[in-house]
Structure 1
Amino acid sequence: MRITFTMDGILRGVRRGVPLLLGIAPFGAVVGVIALGKGLTLAETLLMSALVFAGASQLLALELWTNPPDILAVAVAALVVNIRMVPIGAALSFWLDHLRGWRLWGSLFVTVDHSFALSVAENRAGGRDAGFLFGLGVFTWFGWLIFTGVGHVMGSVVALPPDHPLFFAATASFVGILVALWRSPRKDVPPWILAAATALGTQALHLPAPVPLLAGAFSGALLAAWQETRGTRA
């Protein structure tokens, strides 16, 4: 079936992105609060969110932020965390391979874990309009900017304790997107268990912060890819 890129698909992506605001709002607010605590202005925080648009790497970069900042260390840490976007982009090839120009590069720029999960679910349900990914990504990008800005402003008014439930938003939102990716225990449980076990195992070895995340992501992705290849050949 032919892959399309239409305004209807973009608007469908926007509509599907509305529920994601429940997870993006507290996650973005946390980034804004921490950015304020590190001395970043509102303009600097919004610029970081607009250009990077990746909550996990932004949180890690802020954790490593010093005064004056070690730009190279922060940039390398963000790059290491965002390497996971390479297999994510490959997994979206069912749409991306058919796009060119601004449609391709724009979709890649606004793709994050949440839009990836919902786009995979949309494709599995028979969706063939690649505008869905772009619309969903642009909508979440705007939402991310708004809520990181709100967090920055809120942080200057209200001081939140380190154990405040708001700081659990990042973990909760990533766990929540697994629902959209669920297919069956046989297909999904083994890669998820391997990813979790690998991440916890590397963390127990007291390796630097990005390593457990990357080790878990790549081990789970490799097992899932092997399963898909085996199923296709069968």
Structure 2
Amino acid sequence: MLPILPAAVAFGLVYGVAAAEKGMSALEIALSCMFIFAGASQLVAMELWREPLPIVTMVLSVFVINLRHLLMSATVAPWFANSPRLATFASLFVLTDESWGVAVADRRGGRSDAAFLLGAGATLWVVWLGASTAGHALGDLMRGFDPDLFAWLITGFFVVLLAGFWRGPGDLLPWLLAAATALATVQVLPGTWFVLIGALAGSLAGAWLHVRRR
């Protein structure tokens, strides 16, 4: 997880500053990170935050963004077949794109310790909590930074992670279909539906190819 942590710190600081500007206290920021722990969703909520508070819009946007976790958690379900429920639920609570990605890469490397996902997620949880709380304290110093600049850190990580997932030409169709569907969805549907619809398109294509190979 170490190569990912600088990006997590940067985004945590940005979230802390943004939340402080909306009037959230340090305690409220800390609680949101502890119990929600969904960086992209939390930042989207901050972007939508205005008076009067659009609660329905915020809830729906966060819900749609986080629906991708249904697909991610389904892929790790076999890992926890023989694990205690408490360990399973704790691992799923700290499931993120980053922890899922490194855990999948670890499994493909021939290792099979389900605790890897929990350790990766818990590490990110601690760093996200600390950075967001620090962002509230450093609000005046960080206010001049553009959050969009930090997006390149996460984007770069996912590009490298995706390259590590490449197993051959058979992966090309699901990847291209997911990307094309997401880009097309952005043009016709508002909000964050492109995340879910693109992921579903790629997943269905991958499942179809898997059945055909069998």
User: Given the two structures, how large is their TM-score scaled by the length of structure 1?
Assistant: 0.82
Partner secondary structure for residue 49 of structure 1: helix
Q: Which runs of 5+ in 1 are unaligned?
A: 1-16
1:188 aligns to 2:161 (yes or no): no
Q: 1:77 aligns with which of 61, 81, 85?
A: 61
> Which amino acid is 1:72 matched to?
V
1:101 CA displacement: 2.0
> Which amino acid is 1:190 matched to?
L
> Which amino acid is 1:46 matched to?
A
Percent identity over the alignment is 37
Question: How many angstroms apart in 1 are the aligned matches of 2:4 and 2:147?
Answer: 23
1:96 CA displacement: 2.4
Question: How many angstroms apart in 2 are the aligned matches of 1:76 and 1:204?
Answer: 19
Worse-matched range after superposition: 210-219 or 153-162: 153-162
Question: How many angstroms apart in 2 are the aligned matches of 1:89 and 1:112?
Answer: 10
Change (3 A) 1:98 1:56: same
| Per-residue deviation, residues 35-79 of structure 1 (Å, max 9, x unmatched) | 222222222112111111111111211122223423333222211
Question: How many angstroms apart in 2 are the aligned matches of 1:146 and 1:177?
Answer: 25
1:35 aligns to 2:19 (yes or no): yes
Contact 2:13 2:136 in 1 (8 A): yes
Aligned residue number for residue 134 of structure 2:
150
Contact 1:121 1:180 in 2 (8 A): yes
Question: How many angstroms apart in 2 are the aligned matches of 1:106 and 1:168?
Answer: 30
1:56 aligns to 2:40 (yes or no): yes
Aligned residues: 214
Aligned residue number for residue 127 of structure 1:
111
Change (3 A) 1:40 1:70: same
> Which amino acid is 1:195 matched to?
A
Question: How many angstroms apart in 2 are the aligned matches of 1:37 and 1:124?
Answer: 43
User: Given the two structures, how large is their TM-score scaled by the length of structure 2?
Assistant: 0.89
Worse-matched range after superposition: 34-43 or 67-76: 67-76
Question: How many angstroms apart in 1 are the aligned matches of 2:69 and 2:13?
Answer: 23
Change (3 A) 1:167 1:20: closer
> Which amino acid is 1:210 matched to?
T
Change (3 A) 1:187 1:160: farther
1:120 CA displacement: 1.1
Question: How many angstroms apart in 1 are the aligned matches of 2:43 and 2:49?
Answer: 10
Aligned residue number for residue 79 of structure 2:
95
1:224 aligns to 2:202 (yes or no): no
Question: How many angstroms apart in 2 are the aligned matches of 1:169 and 1:126?
Answer: 28
1:211 aligns to 2:193 (yes or no): yes
Worse-matched range after superposition: 112-121 or 24-33: 24-33
Aligned residue number for residue 184 of structure 2:
201
Aligned residue number for residue 122 of structure 2:
138
Aligned residue number for residue 3 of structure 2:
19
Q: Which runs of 5+ in 2 are unaligned?
A: none
Question: How many angstroms apart in 2 are the aligned matches of 1:86 and 1:106?
Answer: 16
Cα RMSD after superposing both structures: 2.0
